[in-house]
Amino acid sequence: MTEPRGSSASPPRQGRLSRRVFLVALAGAASAAGVGALLRARWGGLRGLEDRVRHARRIRARLGLDLDASSGVGELTAAEVQTLAALSDVLLPSRLAGNDEARRTIEEVALELARDVPGQRLELQRGVALLDERGRRQHGRDFASLSLAERRALFDEIVAPMVRSGAVGKGLRYVFANGRDVWRLWRFVARGLMVGFYASPFGWRLVGYAPSPGSCPGLDYYQGPPPPLAGS
């Protein structure tokens, strides 16, 4: 659409979410506080909604189901990153297991979450500790040292009772500490890594989009199947 003649002012451009803000928004999907921050940044005001967000955050904090923002941000150790990369072999499509670029992407996502989203480093570390504890209990080795088949079976054993439960079953599991541990592993670690992965240029190409996230040239790229990649 062309601008009417004689108009000298252009409409203000909306800011485009960067990958970093996208990762913050990801954590916000699980943390009501993050949602509130995102809304304030992009729309401002919305006092009533912010009050409800704060109330939801207090409830989730009492249940131990929220990010602990007071734990801050920081770096993961090389061993922790290695364990999260080993987990990605379980979460990603089978053909990507051991793929160097996929692993580098997951490592970058994990490091960025830990550095940029308050509370996320603690959840990643908790997830690593849970996976390693189960690996040592069942196989006498840390999670990253297990074969792919062993990792898949172990992760399925950990999360299956939760993800296959109905709403009532999930609610009951939150009463017990180990149920909350599994919920956080699924919500903050597994889901966090996968959303970040598919928001990356590599993950974007994997699902068939040639342009990088946020730079699609037209609505057709968002409203239907993408055109095939060159050479595919």
Note whether 191 and 123 are within 8 A (CB): no
Is the pLDDT reported for residue 163 higher than 80? no
Is the pLDDT reported for residue 123 higher than 80? yes
- Taking the C-alpha atoms of residue 118 and residue 37, their distance in angstroms, rounded to an integer, is 12
Res 136: pLDDT: 97
Of 56-70, 141-155, 200-214, which gets the smallest average pLDDT?
Answer: 56-70
Place of tokens 């149920």: 179
Tell me the Cα Rg of the chain. 20
Nearest Cα neighbor of 15 from 36, 35, 49, 44 is 44
pTM: 0.66
CA atoms within 13 A on the CB side of 190: 19
Average confidence (pLDDT) over 194-218 = 79
pLDDT band at 56 (very low <50, low <70, confident <90, very high): low
Note whether 50 and 39 are within 8 A (CB): yes
DSSP 146: S
What kind and span of H or E run contains 58?
helix 47-63
